[in-house]
Structure 1
Amino acid sequence: MEIIELNEKASNHPKALTLVIGKFDGVHKGHQAILQTAKSYMDEANELLAVMSFSAHPLWVLKQKEEFKHKLTPDNQKLHLLKQFGVSRCYWIEFTKEYAKTTAEQFVNEHLAPLHVNRIVVGEGFRFGAGGLSSTDELIQLCNEKGIEVIVVPLVKVNGEKISGRSIRKWVELGLMEPVHAVLGRPFTVTGKVIHGQKMGRKLGFPTVNLGDVDDYVNPKPGVYLGQIGIHNEKDITEYYDVLISAGYRPTVSGKGYLIEAYLLNYSGDLYDKTVSVTFLRYMRDEVKFTELDDLVKQMEKDKIDGERLMGH
């Protein structure tokens, strides 16, 4: 996928575009519907499917709303998912307080019109321009003046409610991985590099892999989960293992800070410095502070038995 940073005015490009605009955090089923609609309108022989997206959530940049500081899909993961859905090019906007002053007219004239765009596809409720004051009606009007078609895709709803990143974040923070899976169309997944830890799990007979580089993700509710781990090779993931995941603060061993670690149910080997993806399938129990390490080991043994049973071992 070609990534083009739009810091100032866009430059023209000879290839015609079908351009989808949005935040795309999560790349959930609502986003997927927009991408599929865009593809259905394309002349694939003569057009590229492109996305215009932002580096950070506007509500974090402008209002420091804590719930939007972390992401369902940090930038690398979002770009990887968009590529899987057929996106060939991403126009990347560094969203800042200064950029937020861009008017609707500037956005269309300076960022959209120069791109050789045949059509723009957005979701119902799309807002743009300074203060988010302009709606799809204004987008249609401004783009029509430039000869650009605008397609507005109806909201995708579950149980009568629109799918939103805010709802998915809430479910992740509550440990409700089943509805997250349902609306993402895939399990919630955290990708990071395996780092060295205190090796306490190894001492207790349950060696775990600790994930680093995951600070950008929304933190799942502290507790023990059932999941899978995928081990990355140079190009893709070719090995998966069932895992028990501990997410949280490790109060029994006086842990420092939030940590995600995984115990592989059927694996022996060294994964240090490997990139892995951990998927959260099911919340099993709360994080507990045990008074004795022996009690923690007994609970971990029970967790292992339960996990193996649920995964068909």
Structure 2
Amino acid sequence: MERFDLSAENVTGALPEGATKEQGISLAIGFFDGVHLGHQEVVRQAVALARRQGLVPAVMTFDPHPRVVLGQGSQYRTVLTPLGDKLALLAELGVEAAYIIHFDRAFSEVTAEQFVKSFILPLNVKATTVGFDFAFGHKGEGNAEALRLFSGGAVEVQAIDPVYLEEGKVSSTRIRDRLEAGECTDASRLLGRPYLIKGTVVHGDARGRLLGYPTANLLPEQPYVIPRLGVYAIHIDVLSDTGSSVGHYNGVLNVGFRPTFDAPGGALKLEAHLFDFDGDLYGSALALTFHTFLRSEKKFESIDQLVAQISSDSAQAKEIFSKTLPL
């Protein structure tokens, strides 16, 4: 998938090799954090329309989150899918071009009409697909009908109804809530895939190895949403330079502040113990996939109690994995 960076000062785009501007674009527009089941439906409809009409299937998204720039929610400084992850998932859905608009204060002042005439029409967009609650332009003044109006009828617009899963609407907020509660299975169902965090293994204090349970101390590469503090059964992929898996393991992960060893106010740590692994992972890139929440983080009165609990956690995770299909 081609990726093109646009800004308020640079509104020209490019097309994938072999495509021409005359061919036109079918454009899905949105922030798409999580690329969850609802987002997937929007993108699939845009891709299907592109196939029917001979257009280039594309997306337009924004970076960073508009609410962060506008000071409307510090929680949006973390994301379910950082930009690179998001683009990879969109490509899997059939998207061939991605237009990324750098969202800043200046762009937030662009009116809905200016957005259509400066960012949509110059790309030769023939059709747009948006979510049911899509809003754009200064103070969110624009909607799907405004897209039709300001394009002068030149752009076909389809608004996609929300996707519901059992007890409610699928949304990024709902997924965040599930992760913050440690409900990995629920979050995975809403995402349409397990939740994962990527990062690099950095040096810790090597205490896990001394306890008989060596751990990989993961530094997330992007500001991911961090699930509830505690211990998880996880899958771990060791990644190559191209991002492909070169090793797949089961394990347990502690997300927290290590109260048994560290004083309050320390840094949050993600420490993974890989089953059946013996080697040096320092500097390696890992992808941690969350499977099951095992227990909350707690402080132990002795090292022996901690070791016994880690042994119990590992046994519980292995039992869980023995009853589930591998990823």
**TM bucket normalised to smaller:** over 0.9
Within-5 A mapping of 1:116-265: 116-143=124-151, 145=152, 147-214=154-221, 216-235=223-242, 236-254=244-262, 256-265=266-275
- Read off the aligned partner of 1:152 and give its amino acid letter: A
- The 8 Å contact of residues 12 and 116 in structure 1, kept in 2 or not, is answered as no
Q: Secondary structure at the match of 2:182?
A: coil
Greater alpha carbon shift after TM alignment, 110-119 vs 9-18: 9-18
1:140 Cα deviation after fit: 2.0
Greater alpha carbon shift after TM alignment, 244-253 vs 43-52: 43-52
- The 8 Å contact of residues 82 and 222 in structure 2, kept in 1 or not, is answered as no
Match of 2:5 in 1: 5
The Cα offsets for residues 169-194 of structure 1, whole Å up to 9 and x where unpaired, read as: 11111111111000101111000111
Aligned equivalents of 2:13 and 2:222: distance in 1? 36
Question: If the length of structure 1 is used for normalisation, what is the TM-score?
Answer: 0.95
The Cα offsets for residues 137-187 of structure 1, whole Å up to 9 and x where unpaired, read as: 2122223x1511111111111235221111111111111111100010111
Residue 275 of structure 1: which of 277, 285, 299 is its match?
A: 285
Aligned equivalents of 1:75 and 1:43: distance in 2? 25
Give the 4+ runs in structure 1 shifted more than 4 A.
none
Aligned equivalents of 1:214 and 1:260: distance in 2? 12
- The 8 Å contact of residues 69 and 105 in structure 2, kept in 1 or not, is answered as yes
Greater alpha carbon shift after TM alignment, 278-287 vs 204-213: 204-213
- The 8 Å contact of residues 13 and 99 in structure 2, kept in 1 or not, is answered as no
Aligned-pair Cα RMSD in Å:
1.7
| Alignment gaps of 5+ in structure 1 | none
Aligned equivalents of 2:124 and 2:67: distance in 1? 30
Aligned equivalents of 1:30 and 1:41: distance in 2? 17
**What fraction of aligned residue pairs are identical, expressed as a percent?**
35
Greater alpha carbon shift after TM alignment, 7-16 vs 270-279: 7-16
Distance 1:72 1:86, change over 3 A: same
Aligned equivalents of 2:115 and 2:43: distance in 1? 21
Aligned equivalents of 1:44 and 1:276: distance in 2? 39
| Alignment gaps of 5+ in structure 2 | 15-20
Greater alpha carbon shift after TM alignment, 131-140 vs 36-45: 36-45
Residue 297 of structure 2: which of 278, 282, 287 is its match?
A: 287
Within-5 A mapping of 1:60-79: 60-79=68-87
Greater alpha carbon shift after TM alignment, 21-30 vs 260-269: 260-269
- Read off the aligned partner of 1:26 and give its amino acid letter: G
The Cα offsets for residues 187-225 of structure 1, whole Å up to 9 and x where unpaired, read as: 110001111111111111110111113450111111000
Aligned equivalents of 2:51 and 2:197: distance in 1? 35
- The 8 Å contact of residues 9 and 110 in structure 1, kept in 2 or not, is answered as no
Match status 1:89 vs 2:97: yes
Match of 2:316 in 1: 306
